Structure 1
Amino acid sequence: MTDIKVPHQRYIPQNLSDEELVEHAKNELFHVTRAYEELMRRYQRTLYNVCARYLGNDRDADDVSQEIMLKVFYGLKKFEGKSKFKTWLYSITYNECTTQYRKDRRKRRLFDALSLNPLDEEVEPEPVDANSSDLDRWLVGVNAIDREIIILRFVAELEFKDIASIMHLGLSATKMRYKRAIDRLRESFPPIMGG
């Protein structure tokens, strides 16, 4: 008995929704990557920006972005569609950034314990200079959870329910932390936030 080959379906990836692209990618991967490439094209810039803001440097952001794209490539066939693709993608992004951030923090503690200068080992996030955006300068001093909420809201443009799901927080706790962080941001940068 021979396998019946289904003729390759013609479609224009740019004209399809994320959900349609996910279905095409599930059927095509690993031999054809058109649908996957379009999904990544749509989110690549924002994905990188989320990583850069979260991790504080371009080198780590680039590495983590590549790792995320590989995880999506190999995990897409298992994506069940219980959430939007965008939410699933940023859930992976959040987890990868958190893992990288913790690795960097452990390295810095080890270097401190061994009396090494972490800057010599290039594990310290790049300092935020005067040319950085006000948001980047503010994010340096914000606690990790509030920083993550702000990045997922402003950079990834996710809804509060999606942020709460990704971060395993209650919806009301997510909104409360967001409001407090925005209030602190307004205090820090009144001309920007209209304060």
Structure 2
Amino acid sequence: MTRTHRPASSRYDPRKLSDEELVQRAHEELFHITRAYEELMHRYQRTIYNVCARYLGNERDADDVTQEVMLKVLYGLKNFEGKSKFKTWLFSITYNECITQYRKERRKRRLVDALSLDPVEEASDEKAPRLVEKGGLDRWLVHVNPIDREILILRFVAELEFQEIADIMHMGLSATKMRYKRSLDKMREKFSAKTET
């Protein structure tokens, strides 16, 4: 007896399904039913926001980029083929959106400076230290270069494996691990120097 294809509308508890099962459901359901998609976003929205906030340094941009990521996932899920884990794909989108927003803000700051507007009011980096002052990882991320910071954020905040980070950042696995170790060493040096003073 052959198994009939289960209709997408059949009842299920999305909280009990794995990411991969939810992705499969979303393939079948979107755009008529968004239950599987909503559960995926419920699982990852906070982490997406935290990654964006640490990368961009302010909450307003982090909110905007989080919403943009969620929209991209909604419209991209139908075409997601599952060649990588859902989580890797999701944070690849997040990483790319953060880079786009960061470049946009940098261009805006340069324009503001060129027009001689008040740089403190209009386009300063003053928001970043406020986030950093909250302590924890944020305080030390300012001491490493942007690429290393991205590796640390994807590792500690998104909790990705090194191979996943390497894939997202288009780097070799050994280069990713080496940069991760060096940046941690650098942060440790800064920390021990500050505690000794």
Count of aligned pairs between the two proteins? 188
Question: Which stretch of structure 1 is more off in the superposition, 54-63 or 134-143?
Answer: 134-143
Q: 1:16-59, CA deviations, whole angstroms, 9 ceiling, x for partnerless residues?
A: 00000000011111110110000000001111000000000000
For structure 2, the 5+ residue unaligned runs are 1-5
Q: 2:105 — aligned with what?
A: 104
Offset at residue 127 of structure 1 (A): 3.6
Partner of 2:119, secondary structure, is coil
Q: 2:69 — aligned with what?
A: 68
Q: 1:52 — aligned with what?
A: 53
Offset at residue 125 of structure 1 (A): 5.4
* Preserved CA contact (<8 Å) 1:51 1:61: yes
Partner of 2:31, secondary structure, is coil
Letter in 2 for 1:44: Q
* Preserved CA contact (<8 Å) 1:104 1:124: no
Q: 1:8 — aligned with what?
A: 9
Q: 2:22 — aligned with what?
A: 21
Could you tell me which of 170, 177, 192 is aligned with 2:179? 177
Q: 1:150 — aligned with what?
A: 152
How many percent identity over aligned positions? Answer: 71
Q: 1:160 — aligned with what?
A: 162
Offset at residue 133 of structure 1 (A): 1.5
* Preserved CA contact (<8 Å) 1:48 1:61: yes
Alignment TM-score, normalising by the size of structure 1: 0.90
Alignment TM-score, normalising by the size of structure 2: 0.89
Offset at residue 139 of structure 1 (A): 1.5
Partner of 2:154, secondary structure, is helix
Offset at residue 122 of structure 1 (A): 4.8
Point out the structure with the larger helix share: 2
Runs of 4+ in 1 over 4 A off after TM superposition: none
For structure 1, the 5+ residue unaligned runs are none
